[in-house]
Structure 1
């Protein structure tokens, strides 16, 4: 059932086996998967429809590269999937590896941990299948790759039909569910730990009409996105002055986006050869794709650069037959100085607003320059394009609405906020789900990988919740 926490007839004091905070894609999928084993309480700060007062809770300060904190996310049932443009892509296998030229790179596991979930993610996102082979898909579509070669990585985005709008598609089942109780307009204002400060004992929730309540969970998952999740942890500072999971000052650090740069002074000579780069092609069964191109892992290593993909586009102001422009979607390097902290200003519920300091590193800008030069040279060799001016210089970046890395995953609490299973180091019943746990972010839009990671977490939590495991009232049922 879905209940409005502002309603005085709805109890806000509850005990639950599992509390999931955030009804975005990760929270909704986790709730659905885990409700097969235990009743779930899903806590959502927004409602089922947009609300300006709720949106105002997302306001804050941007003190680095200018970044909009409200229009890049949505608070409510379905989360920011209501803003999603549907771009699906997979990380490359080397994105998970430790790369000597990229400080703080490396996931605690490889792509093989996520590939078993790719088929389920493809069905969830209305992709039909998990095939992202650019050469095979374009061949089936009767198209061709105008550029290919030993150092190149032909790639494509795929789009589900229709685009998965989690709020719309999940709402009927959640409204009628007997095992999932969804509290809307309920904001987690504080997280309190029990004796020993090693487990969550209570969540305090507040509403914009002045109601308060206390949830006593056995297990908690925060699934609130890469900006709100660290904000919640940092605001929970009554017992630990630094906030939860922040003993080594890592909560909020390593904020990463996918900066986009235009390659100025580059001309495409044969635009007709790149028709499915500027307009979507059809890969069969009505499923669309859009082509792009990058350097493969070997070439990235040789140049000492981050992952990136070149795409071709026309702005709305350009004529339909104008030669398209070229841009790069970039991986951002992990940077501890690009971070979320707390503002001195409070929101309507009394919690400190967030302050974002988004910044790029020298490696980010160097990667743009070297990748742009290498790909432009390939276009020239093939007679497909030419440079018109001096070597490229990284301009101010555009953002991609991706909030990643702020509660990063690592084996050690000295290196990350959560362990490889998403559990907050030092707090035995608190987990985090979402792109905030990504240690590195590839070039690729995060949704496909995020959902694979969500299914992996669901599988881990299911193993803890199955009957026959042992635990206490404030501990997952199985020992870790």
Structure 2
């Protein structure tokens, strides 16, 4: 059922309380319901986006230029899926593995094979086909991305599910402001309504799915407010936050370059192999070629060919005539960012939201390895095309210099990862391999904030896989004697 905050105090709370109704929380609640397990989602927003709920998303960014936090994540039914573009791909096996050649790359405490059983059900949920890849050289592979419709986890299909379900419940306008721990358990959540009224919700199991910024923010604030800390070992809490940097890297002219996988748009996706990543000591990356040429009529193609053959002489003529002629396909680079403790979420010491919770402060800056990854990835494409006599790459100066990238266009993916990362031990992360908070018997964190590393793929597909996996764990745990 769906109900509002003013009915929460009279509601019979089920065993599992989920905080947040994005892809993670909705997939978890729906899967649990199908397994016969009751749950309640506490969603800070309503059915539609409002200024009041987005006001609580405001925060400050220190470091490289980044999106306004107020609009980089969303608080209403469906969460971040409401502005998701639909790009889908699973992580590569190498993304889970420790990298001895890169000190900061500790790996995941699980392997890709632990998520593979949820590949098909996640594909069905996101309405995408199985994805493939092929190695085209020792250092380069062509990969396939899929485009979800995109699935909005707050659309009519999901709304109808919650309205008719007797097991999956959704409470709107219920802003969880802190968690209270006692004797190694999350005992309760303090929940505020739109008018500031606060009610206490007792928790059997608490699953925090509030997003890649608010997961850290909620736990940091709860550690200050709770008599017993929710995260007992908080050395990494809020730290190792990262994104997927985006940048236009250059242009490419190709001839005879084979592409196998079709995308709804005329794009080719390439990526370094695991062997190349280790050889050049770089992180994972996606090289995205936008095929803007090749669809002209014959006379137009001949005219463009003549113009491009005389560049740069002809360029000034066409610029003065305000005529745009494309002589090469643009390349966008999207890559894995190095997780560093300096990149982190902290609580503001000066500013609070309307519920009295400190606003987040995001420290975010790209490292030398981040810049070098983009540079080398593009060089791999250039070398491959030269060796095969299939084309030539022109890299932009800021990529060649492996230094500051101009913050123009799409500077990052709105992919908030890290801050509550998964690890083998509490001194390395916040949650264990089953997403349970270290030292807390009934507290879990779900979403991209638990990623130790993020590869280059958009995180939604992996989030859904992890939600399905956690549902199995919670079903077994909640029914254990």
In structure 2, the residue corresponding to 1:423 is in which secondary structure? coil
1:406 and 2:392 are equivalent in the alignment:
no
Cα-to-partner distance string for 1:297-326 (whole Å, 9 max, x where unaligned)? 0011011111111112389x9958552211
In structure 1, the residue corresponding to 2:381 is in which secondary structure? helix
Alignment match, 2:4:
4
Alignment match, 1:362:
368
1:298 and 2:296 are equivalent in the alignment:
no
**Offset, 1:193:** 1.2
Alignment CA distance shift 1:375-1:246 (3 Å): farther
Spell out the pairing of 1:439-458 with structure 2 (5 A cutoff): 439-458=452-471
Tell me if structure 2 keeps the 8 A contact 1:3–1:182.
Answer: yes
**Offset, 1:372:** 2.1
Cα-to-partner distance string for 1:142-199 (whole Å, 9 max, x where unaligned)? xxxxx93222111121113x321111031111012222221100001111112x3x10
Spell out the pairing of 1:353-392 with structure 2 (5 A cutoff): 353-381=359-387, 382-387=389-394, 391-392=400-401
Mean CA deviation greater in 15-24 or 110-119: 15-24
Tell me if structure 2 keeps the 8 A contact 1:292–1:310.
Answer: yes
For the residues of structure 2 that align with 1:464 and 1:240, how far apart are their CA atoms?
A: 25
Tell me if structure 2 keeps the 8 A contact 1:156–1:289.
Answer: no
In structure 1, the residue corresponding to 2:471 is in which secondary structure? helix
Equivalent residue for 2:402, pick from 393, 410, 416:
393
Alignment match, 2:477:
464
Alignment match, 2:318:
none
Cα-to-partner distance string for 1:95-134 (whole Å, 9 max, x where unaligned)? 111001222421112111000100001100111x32x224
Question: Structure 2 unaligned runs (5+)?
Answer: 293-321
**Offset, 1:240:** 5.5
Spell out the pairing of 1:135-154 with structure 2 (5 A cutoff): 135=134, 148-154=136-142
Alignment match, 1:477:
none
1:33 and 2:31 are equivalent in the alignment:
yes
For the residues of structure 2 that align with 1:170 and 1:91, how far apart are their CA atoms?
A: 26
Tell me if structure 2 keeps the 8 A contact 1:21–1:43.
Answer: yes
Q: How many residues are treated as equivalent by the alignment?
A: 440
**Offset, 1:225:** 1.1
In structure 2, the residue corresponding to 1:63 is in which secondary structure? strand
1:340 and 2:348 are equivalent in the alignment:
no
In structure 1, the residue corresponding to 2:288 is in which secondary structure? strand
Question: Structure 1 unaligned runs (5+)?
Answer: 136-146, 283-287, 471-480
**Offset, 1:209:** 1.4
Alignment CA distance shift 1:405-1:320 (3 Å): farther
Mean CA deviation greater in 170-179 or 422-431: 170-179
Larger Cα-atom Rg? 2
Equivalent residue for 1:252, pick from 235, 238, 248:
238
For the residues of structure 2 that align with 1:62 and 1:437, how far apart are their CA atoms?
A: 21
Spell out the pairing of 1:202-351 with structure 2 (5 A cutoff): 202-238=188-224, 244-245=230-231, 247-264=233-250, 267-270=251-254, 281=263, 290-313=267-290, 323-344=328-349, 345-351=351-357
RMSD over equivalenced CA pairs, Å: 2.5
For the residues of structure 2 that align with 1:314 and 1:326, how far apart are their CA atoms?
A: 9
Alignment match, 2:89:
89
Tell me if structure 2 keeps the 8 A contact 1:107–1:409.
Answer: yes
For the residues of structure 1 that align with 2:323 and 2:111, how far apart are their CA atoms?
A: 42
For the residues of structure 1 that align with 2:21 and 2:249, how far apart are their CA atoms?
A: 38
Mean CA deviation greater in 103-112 or 421-430: 103-112
Tell me if structure 1 keeps the 8 A contact 2:253–2:329.
Answer: no
Alignment CA distance shift 1:463-1:388 (3 Å): closer
Tell me if structure 2 keeps the 8 A contact 1:408–1:416.
Answer: yes
What TM-score results when the alignment is normalised by the length of structure 1? Answer: 0.86
Alignment match, 1:417:
430
Spell out the pairing of 1:31-70 with structure 2 (5 A cutoff): 31-35=29-33, 36-67=35-66, 68-70=68-70
